[in-house]
Chain A
Amino acid sequence: MTTRLEALPGSRLKWAVADGWTITRRDLVHWANHPVQLIVGLLFPIMILLMFGYLFGGAMKVPGGGDYREFLVPGVLALSMMFGIEATFTAVSTDVSRGVTDRFRSMPMAGSAVVVGRCVADMINAALTLAALVLAGLAMGWGWHRGIGPAFAAFGLLLLLRLAMLWVGIHLGLVLRSPESVMALQILVWPVGFLSNVFAPPETMPGWLGTVVEWNPMSATVTAIRELFGNPGWGGDSWMAQHSLLMAVVWPVLMVALFFPLSVRRYRRLSR
């Protein structure tokens, strides 16, 4: 055996960063190994956009006027961030059930790396998803009308929503590990995604349903980014509608504040 097998020197911080990157790289290699999988993942939200934009869009009216496709694009951007929870959840639960997480835990690597790598990889994926959707949206005639600054703020809010979903996904992945729960989650994201203002304004719904929809955290993001992009919204005079920008920050921050410590606790409890 000729290879040197001693660990290289380095501070804890250096190795935390290096290990986090190694785990991130693992996902990048997945994409390189299975490009079709990556492309299908990127095309799926575009398909939803096209379907609602052209198949159903003709029959939709935005209250107060405005183009439905302009109304729709911000909604689908947020929807794609919400659907990201599936990818996070599947990756985490697969690693736990296959014993890969245990192998990592039995190795002298930085304990934070598993989570850091998951975060970075999923956020890169989210950025790719947004980029693909934005291109598709631009091709459909969508655009931002209040300048590049607010547009970037809007993308920031979208990534913040994805970050919140990431921590919910990590926690669920650590709690539910059976293949059946993966399927249940894949089904459940649909009603949650549709019980929002993505496709239709809440004021066109029965009163109680409209309220439920407004309290869906995703709706706050959608309302806020419609405003930031200068796309038609529905105004609305409820407290939620009036404070959408605030709530588009508060909801995700609350979710991270709740699910980050829960996930850390769950991860530690793997050793109990």
Chain B
Amino acid sequence: MASTDLAVLTEGLRKRYGDKTALDGCDLAVRAGTVHGVLGPNGAGKTTAVRVLSTLLRPDGGTARVAGLDVVRQAAEVRRVIGLVGQHAAVDEQLSGRQNLEMFGRLYHLGARAARARAGELLERFRLADTGRKPVSQYSGGMRRRLDLAAGLILAPRVLFLDEPTTGLDPRSRNEVWEAVTELRQGGATVLLTTQYLEEADRLADDVSVIDDGKVVARGTPAELKSRVGADRVDVVVRRAADLPAAAAALARVAGAGPDVDPETRTAGAPVRDRITALSELLRTLDAEGVEVEDVELRRPTLDEVFLALTGHAAGKAARGGATGVAGAAPAGGGRTAGRGAPGGSDEKEARV
């Protein structure tokens, strides 16, 4: 691929905070006109990478180019072609949405009239036009996010960075952000978005880079990654512990990989490719063998399971709560995590970078 087709290219990017390594030779390549998902747990280095690419942070080593421009030596030029939407809605709470967008438009040197017109366009597009003089402090979380997104789009940037754009949003607001990203992509923009959610990367991204401990550990299209991970997982909970080996054997026949068995919760779980065929076949087998089933769950793999499948070890931080919903992750992770050793001491990565 010619480097001119790349909207973002980083090579050997390194950044340390004291004795914590946030980026450890991070190589990212984002094709122009695509949505690129950077998938990883908290503390993997996603935010640090975005901060370097948006000229907010100087890397300790390596190079980073955005739209062909070096983010350190040509920072001023880079700022003319990027938009940034960070984790927090970075807008003035005491101003109205329109006042915010007009201020940012003036600071992009559009001139007062164009700044006003652009603010009007964006408010319309993000359904904020009827908020009037209401200050942002009275906006809902979803409205703030939309305003934040609008602020990042004032220049119609060639490359837009979205840092965990849906973290902490309710499902409706999340869908709105997703729609906006899809529209942007159709408009020809390049979008780099970081996320902790496999589902989000799957839904939005053309390509995905999986990042852990400051390095890219896997890359590919969502379909490629899923074929390595298994699209879905089936967990079977049996009534009698004695039936567990039979359930595991039945699972093994339909699963893409060996089942994980947890005697404590009487659960056997495994990734499957074709969810419906696998499920019906599994239930038939279990029924024929007289295994009494207490519960069956068909679900997406958690981020921890993705990491396990792609890297052979759990993500930087074990048993990540809320974000991934780790039901079943503990039995899956238990046995193999132990083999990881502790290069770099995974607990230290918890710090927000």
Contact between chains at B95 and A7 (CB < 8 Å): no
Residues of A78-135 at the interface with B, using a CB-CB cut-off of 8 Å, are 98-100, 102-109, 113
Asked if A238 is at the interface of the complex by the 8 Å CB criterion, the answer is: no
B151's partner among A2, A25, A103 (CB-CB below 8 A) is A103
Instruction: Point out the residues of chain B lying under 8 angstroms from A99, CB to CB.
Output: 86-90
Asked if B323 is at the interface of the complex by the 8 Å CB criterion, the answer is: no
B57's partner among A108, A109, A113, A272 (CB-CB below 8 A) is A272
Closest to B72 in A: A271
Instruction: Point out the residues of chain B lying under 8 angstroms from A2, CB to CB.
Output: 117, 121
A104 to B114 alpha-carbon distance, docked (Å): 19
Asked if A26 is at the interface of the complex by the 8 Å CB criterion, the answer is: yes
Contact between chains at B94 and A22 (CB < 8 Å): no
Instruction: Point out the residues of chain A lying under 8 angstroms from B51, CB to CB.
Output: 102
Closest to A114 in B: B107
Contact between chains at B108 and A7 (CB < 8 Å): yes
Contact between chains at A106 and B82 (CB < 8 Å): yes
Contact between chains at B121 and A7 (CB < 8 Å): no
A4, A30, A99 interface centre (most CB from chain B within 10 Å): A99
A108 to B69 alpha-carbon distance, docked (Å): 14
A7 to B54 alpha-carbon distance, docked (Å): 19
Instruction: Point out the residues of chain A lying under 8 angstroms from B154, CB to CB.
Output: 5
Asked if B169 is at the interface of the complex by the 8 Å CB criterion, the answer is: no
Q: How far is the CB of B149 from chain A (nearest CB, A)?
A: 12
What total count of A-B pairs have CB within 8 Å?
102
A33, A104, A106 interface centre (most CB from chain B within 10 Å): A106
The number of chain A residues with a CB under 8 A from chain B is: 34
Contact between chains at B90 and A8 (CB < 8 Å): no
Asked if B49 is at the interface of the complex by the 8 Å CB criterion, the answer is: no
Instruction: Point out the residues of chain A lying under 8 angstroms from B54, CB to CB.
Output: 106
Contact between chains at B90 and A29 (CB < 8 Å): no
Interface window among B96-104, B195-203, B214-222: B96-104
A107 to B79 alpha-carbon distance, docked (Å): 5
Asked if B76 is at the interface of the complex by the 8 Å CB criterion, the answer is: yes
Contact between chains at A22 and B80 (CB < 8 Å): no
Closest to A27 in B: B94
Asked if A204 is at the interface of the complex by the 8 Å CB criterion, the answer is: no
Contact between chains at B92 and A26 (CB < 8 Å): yes
Instruction: Point out the residues of chain B lying under 8 angstroms from A10, CB to CB.
Output: 109
Asked if A13 is at the interface of the complex by the 8 Å CB criterion, the answer is: no
A15 to B104 alpha-carbon distance, docked (Å): 14
Asked if A184 is at the interface of the complex by the 8 Å CB criterion, the answer is: no
Residues of B63-122 at the interface with A, using a CB-CB cut-off of 8 Å, are 76, 79-80, 82, 84, 86-96, 99, 103-104, 106-111, 114, 117-118, 121
Given contacts A5-B118, A33-B96, contact A22 B107 (CB under 8 A): yes
Instruction: Point out the residues of chain A lying under 8 angstroms from B114, CB to CB.
Output: 3-5
Instruction: Point out the residues of chain A lying under 8 angstroms from B89, CB to CB.
Output: 98-99
Contact between chains at B155 and A33 (CB < 8 Å): no
Contact between chains at A33 and B135 (CB < 8 Å): yes
B92, B96, B99, B154 interface centre (most CB from chain A within 10 Å): B92
Instruction: Point out the residues of chain A lying under 8 angstroms from B84, CB to CB.
Output: 102-103, 106
Q: How far is the CB of A177 from chain B (nearest CB, A)?
A: 13
Residues of B124-168 at the interface with A, using a CB-CB cut-off of 8 Å, are 133, 135, 151, 154-156
Asked if A19 is at the interface of the complex by the 8 Å CB criterion, the answer is: yes
Given contacts A5-B156, A99-B90, A102-B90, contact A29 B109 (CB under 8 A): no
Contact between chains at B94 and A33 (CB < 8 Å): yes
A7 to B110 alpha-carbon distance, docked (Å): 5
A10 to B109 alpha-carbon distance, docked (Å): 9
Asked if B58 is at the interface of the complex by the 8 Å CB criterion, the answer is: yes
Given contacts A3-B117, A271-B56, contact A30 B94 (CB under 8 A): yes
A258 to B126 alpha-carbon distance, docked (Å): 46
Q: How far is the CB of A24 from chain B (nearest CB, A)?
A: 11
Asked if B55 is at the interface of the complex by the 8 Å CB criterion, the answer is: yes
Contact between chains at A3 and B118 (CB < 8 Å): yes
Q: How far is the CB of B45 from chain A (nearest CB, A)?
A: 16
A104 to B42 alpha-carbon distance, docked (Å): 25
Contact between chains at B55 and A106 (CB < 8 Å): yes
Asked if A188 is at the interface of the complex by the 8 Å CB criterion, the answer is: no
Contact between chains at B86 and A103 (CB < 8 Å): yes
**B interface residues (Cβ-Cβ under 8 A, vs A):** 51, 54-58, 76, 79-80, 82, 84, 86-96, 99, 103-104, 106-111, 114, 117-118, 121, 133, 135, 151, 154-156
15 A-B contacts, Cβ less than 8 Å apart? A1-B121, A3-B114, A4-B110, A5-B114, A8-B109, A15-B109, A22-B106, A26-B95, A29-B99, A33-B99, A33-B133, A103-B84, A103-B90, A103-B151, A107-B104
**A interface residues (Cβ-Cβ under 8 A, vs B):** 1-5, 7-8, 10, 15, 18-19, 22-23, 25-26, 29-30, 33-34, 98-100, 102-109, 113, 270-272
Q: A5-B114, A99-B86, A103-B90 are in contact. List 16 more A-B contacts (CB 8 A).
A: A1-B121, A3-B110, A5-B110, A7-B108, A8-B110, A19-B106, A23-B107, A25-B103, A29-B99, A33-B94, A33-B96, A33-B135, A34-B94, A99-B89, A102-B51, A106-B54
